[in-house]
Amino acid sequence: MLVPRVRRSLPVRWEQPIGLYGLVLLIIGNYLGLFVAPGERFMGEVGRILYVHVPAAWLSMLCFSVAFVFAMTFLFTTKRTWDSAMEAACEVGVMEGALLLLLGAIFAKPTWGEWWSWDPRLTSSAVMMLSFVGVLLLRGVVRDPDRRATWSAVATILAGINVPITYMSVKWWRSLHQMQSETSQGSTIDDSMRWILYFNTFAFLYLTVWFLAARWRLAEARAESEVPEPLPEKHA
């Protein structure tokens, strides 16, 4: 049986200045995306959506990848704090994954003429997001903390397989979606747009770290409340 090892919340909330910094970056980054960035060559004004769509894609995939790592770490160490971290990464990833799909639909309508297409990239993104929704649902129905932690770690690892599939889907199959713009071979984005994209990505990153830390605290508090009370000592 797994022994619950719970750490109390950190007295100093280090993530709050990071979140505030991310908020400021997001305000400036969105202003740059809306008013300073040039129109995209083919998509015109609609191309401005990429400054929120692409960071949402990158950060949701980052959260799911991190959840995968936390799940593996939990299975190797059985420390409950990794289970809490995995829960946080799954939930924040699902939130950003849902945002990604919504932004993708808003992007698709004026550029492709339809809100949704069963395209490999879109479909794999939806499957990826829904598989992590499944992990959260599983956590919601299993009452025993040890079973919940182990089962959801396994489910997270299985769901995590979707991350590289989603990333590579535009290369492996014929897709309406464009290929990766940023690769190890270089970038296909003009420098006048690229720095604004990265500015917004850092805003998303800082906010994501804030969300992850705050959500991890919630999970830790729940784990703490689940620790059974010690049995009263028997007096002869």
Contact positions vs another protein (CB under 8 A): 26, 30, 33-34, 39, 41-46, 48-49, 52-53, 56, 92, 95-96, 98-99, 102-103, 106-107, 109-111, 207, 211, 214-215, 217-218, 221-222
| CB 43 to another protein: min, Å | 5
| CB 115 to another protein: min, Å | 11
Q: Of 147 and 222, which has the nearer Cβ to another protein?
A: 222
| CB 210 to another protein: min, Å | 8
Q: Of 48 and 80, which has the nearer Cβ to another protein?
A: 48
| CB 199 to another protein: min, Å | 14
Q: Of 42 and 231, which has the nearer Cβ to another protein?
A: 42
Q: Of 63 and 150, which has the nearer Cβ to another protein?
A: 63
Q: Of 78 and 88, which has the nearer Cβ to another protein?
A: 88
| CB 132 to another protein: min, Å | 15
Return the HEC string of the chain: CCCCCCCCCCCCCCHHHHHHHHHHHHHHHHHHHHHHCCCECCCEHHHHHHHHHHHHHHHHHHHHHHHHHHHHHHHHHCCHHHHHHHHHHHHHHHHHHHHHHHHHHHHHHHHHCCCCCCCHHHHHHHHHHHHHHHHHHHHHHCCCHHHHHHHHHHHHHHHHCHHHHHHHHHHHCCCCCCCCCEECCEECCCHHHHHHHHHHHHHHHHHHHHHHHHHHHHHHHHHHHHCCCCCCCCCC
